[in-house]
């Protein structure tokens, strides 16, 4: 075998043996690089006499072409192998379950849902939503609402007080949403029609009481607003909220410092093996406190009681939520247990409207 043929065989064997791109590149440099074996041969061509150049030139160039072709073929093999390896590791098993989108997993808390529902109902009747701070002054929570100083009703509310300030006044966590009545009357001119949903606080905790709970207040002030209007509004509300055609209601005399007369409202229900149905039956359930806004409260809020009058009511949101959606334990509402929430919570995109239905199917 000629030296040329032997060199070619060696190079081709090295190409075949190269395990990866780097090894292959080393073989290429050794043969065709600046100081490569084939390059050295090509350089000798120039020194040869013309007739030898004629015979050897094609031999050496032919060898160079075959080496180049072998290098390209080997490179192609590496490329295919790399692609195949990538395809194998990046394959998708289409039979695997699809992971749910965050909007599908998240749940709306029942309290939030019910606040949205009752806002939709009252908005349909022309009510706006008013809000106030959870931390209130003694004056707004009690004073302007006609609670006399040292009145036992203040103690009745089991108030969480903050430490007194140097001037002797002390802030508190509002015990009801009624202080927002005051804030509304101080800043808006009648006619006023607002509902006030929000958090309220009392130092009380057992199976039916939590230290933080929710109320929704209603306030209507105009020149001729009276309890007949309120009765209609509440009746329409309960029918829409509990999704029934009829709601029996009963008004009983009561006492609140900020209303005169004051009353408590019961709605008719039937208790059936732990289930409660509304609008029928022979039982009554106390559901809210209400009354005509006391002239002193109007006066305290800058309104002339000879010109304006109105009514207000306050209702526990947690309770009506438990009643509507059959939740047995109030305390679970505030334990932040995702298992409870995924069971009782509402899908985030099922926004309650009167047109499309209040509660999700
Ligand atoms: N604020 C009262 C409470 O928390 C509830 C209430 C009663 C609100 C009568 C009212 C009302 O607006 O008129 O016990």
- 66-107 per-position pLDDT tens digit: 999 999 999 999 999 999 999 888 888 888 888 888 778 889
- Is 310's C-beta closer than 6 angstroms to any atom of ligand 1? no
- C-beta 217 within 6 A of ligand 1: yes
Round the average pLDDT of the chain to a whole number and report it. Answer: 91
From the CB of 289, is ligand 1 less than 6 Å away? yes
Tell me if residue 41 falls in helix, strand or coil.
helix
**DSSP code of 75?**
H
DSSP 346: B
Residue range 310-329, pLDDT digits in tens: 999 999 999 899 888 888 88
Q: What pLDDT, in 10s, does the model give residues 293-311? A: 999 999 999 999 999 999 9
Percentages helix, strand, coil for the chain (3-state, rounded to 5) are 45, 20, 35
Q: What is the dihedral of CA 308, 313, 314, 315, to 10 degrees?
A: -160
Which residue puts its alpha carbon closest to atom 2 of ligand 1? Answer: 314
**Max CA pair span of the chain:** 131
Distance of CA 82 to the CA centre of its chain: 45
Output the six-digit token pair for 138. 């003694």
Q: CA–CA separation, 361 vs 346, rounded Å?
A: 11
pLDDT above 70 covers what percent of the chain?
Answer: 98
pLDDT at 121: 97
Cβ(294) – ligand 1 distance below 6 Å: no
14-34 pLDDT, tens digit each: 999 999 999 999 999 999 999
Q: Pick the most confident of 126-130, 316-320, 345-349.
A: 126-130
Sign of the Cα torsion 305, 306, 308, 309 reads positive
The answer, yes or no, to whether residue 116 has pLDDT greater than 70, is: yes
And the tokens for 127? 């009510």
Write out pLDDT tens, residues 168-211.
888 999 999 999 999 999 999 999 999 999 999 999 888 778 99
Cβ-Cβ contacts under 8 Å for 346 (sequence gap 6 or more): 107, 108, 110, 113, 360
- Cα(251) to centroid(ligand 1), Å: 14
Cα 149 to chain centroid, rounded: 43
What distance in Å separates the CA atoms of residue 40 and residue 36, rounded to the nearest whole number?
A: 6
Atom of ligand 1 nearest to the CA of 217: 12
Q: 316 CA distance to ligand 1 centroid (A)? A: 10
Torsion of CA 128, 229, 254, 141, to 10 degrees: 20
Alpha-carbon distances of 299 from 132, 228, 259, 296, 309, rounded to whole Å: 20, 23, 13, 5, 11
The secondary element (H helix, E strand) that includes residue 150 is: none
Q: d(Cα 140, Cα 23) in Å, to the nearest integer? A: 85
Of 125, 100, 120, nearest to 350 by C-alpha is 120
103-344 CATH choice from 3.40.50.970, 3.40.50.150, 3.30.930.10, 3.40.640.10: 3.30.930.10
Does the structure show a pLDDT above 70 at 158? yes
């Amino acid at each position: 075998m000629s030296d040329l043929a032997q060199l070619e065989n060696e190079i081709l064997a090295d190409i075949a043996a190269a395990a990866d791109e780097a090894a292959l590149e080393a073989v290429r440099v050794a043969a065709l690089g600046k100081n490569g074996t084939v390059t050295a041969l090509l350089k000798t061509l120039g020194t040869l006499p013309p007739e030898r150049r004629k015979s050897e030139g094609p031999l050496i160039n032919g060898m160079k072409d075959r080496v180049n072709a072998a290098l390209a073929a080997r490179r192609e093999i590496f490329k295919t192998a790399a692609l195949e390896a990538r395809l194998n590791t990046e394959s998708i098993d289409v039979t695997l379950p699809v992971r749910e989108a965050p909007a599908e997993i998240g749940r709306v808390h029942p309290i939030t849902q019910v606040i949205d529902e009752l806002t939709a109902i009252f908005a349909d009747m022309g009510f706006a939503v008013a809000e106030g701070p959870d931390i209130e002054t003694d004056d707004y929570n009690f004073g302007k609402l006609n609670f006399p100083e040292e009145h036992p009703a203040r103690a009745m509310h089991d108030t969480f007080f903050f430490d007194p300030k140097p001037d002797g006044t002390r802030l508190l966590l509002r015990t009801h949403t009624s202080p927002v009545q005051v804030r509304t009357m101080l800043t808006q001119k009648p006619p006023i029609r607002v509902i006030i949903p929000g958090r309220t606080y009392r130092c009380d905790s057992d199976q039916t009481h939590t230290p933080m709970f929710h109320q929704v207040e209603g306030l209507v002030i105009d020149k001729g607003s009276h309890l007949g209007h309120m009765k209609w509004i509440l009746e329409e509300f309960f029918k829409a909220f509990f999704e029934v055609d009829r709601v029996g209601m009963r008004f009983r005399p009561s006492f609140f410092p900020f209303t005169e007369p004051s009353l408590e409202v019961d709605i008719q229900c039937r208790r059936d093996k732990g289930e409660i149905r509304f609008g029928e039956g022979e039982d009554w359930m106390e559901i809210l406190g209400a009354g005509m806004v006391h002239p002193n409260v109007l006066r305290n809020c800058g309104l002339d009681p000879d010109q304006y009058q109105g009514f207000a009511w306050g209702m526990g949101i947690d309770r009506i939520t438990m009643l509507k959606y059959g939740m047995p334990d109030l305390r679970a509402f505030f334990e932040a247990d995702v298992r409870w929430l995924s069971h009782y919570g509402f899908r985030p995109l099922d926004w309650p409207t009167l047109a499309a239905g209040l509660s999700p199917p």
